[in-house]
């Protein structure tokens, strides 16, 4: 007997909201990527708790896939960030306005 399932969902929801705030409110590309990581981690937490709640292994399998997605996303995202930084010399997304008139 650990805790009610809803408490785990609340924890995952709070973490997800923190990730959204980090992705939206920070003026820095790296912090936006970190916010996405926090959101993925919150989703994985909900999946693990669901696997325990229904005693099904599918939830844990999906967490493995979430890990792989996070790794792929972060490698491509950081490569893009480095590329953008070398072209513009800044990590502020508001300076990427070359296409603007």
What is the contact surface with another protein in residues (CB under 8 A)?
1-11, 13-15, 17-22, 24-28, 30-31, 33-35, 37-38, 41, 44-45, 48-49, 51-53, 55, 57, 60-61, 63-65, 67-76, 78-83, 85-86, 91-92
> CB of residue 98 vs another protein: minimum separation in angstroms?
15
CA distance 86 to 81: 9
CA distance 89 to 101: 20
> CB of residue 66 vs another protein: minimum separation in angstroms?
10
> CB of residue 86 vs another protein: minimum separation in angstroms?
6
CA atoms within 13 A on the CB side of 94: 5
CA distance 24 to 61: 30
Q: Which is nearer to another protein, 37 or 96 (CB)?
A: 37
Q: Which is nearer to another protein, 94 or 100 (CB)?
A: 94
CA distance 73 to 52: 27
User: DSSP character for 1?
Assistant: -
> CB of residue 50 vs another protein: minimum separation in angstroms?
10
């Amino acid at each position: 007997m650990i805790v009610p399932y809803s408490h785990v969902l609340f924890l995952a929801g709070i973490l997800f909201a923190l990730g959204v705030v980090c992705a939206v409110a920070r003026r820095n590309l790296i912090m936006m990527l970190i916010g996405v990581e926090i959101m993925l981690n919150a989703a994985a937490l909900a999946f693990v708790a669901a696997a325990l709640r229904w005693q099904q292994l599918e939830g844990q399998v999906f967490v493995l896939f979430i890990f792989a997605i996070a790794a792929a996303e972060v490698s491509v995202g950081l490569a893009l960030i480095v590329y953008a930084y070398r072209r513009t010399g800044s990590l502020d997304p508001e300076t990427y306005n070359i296409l603007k008139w």
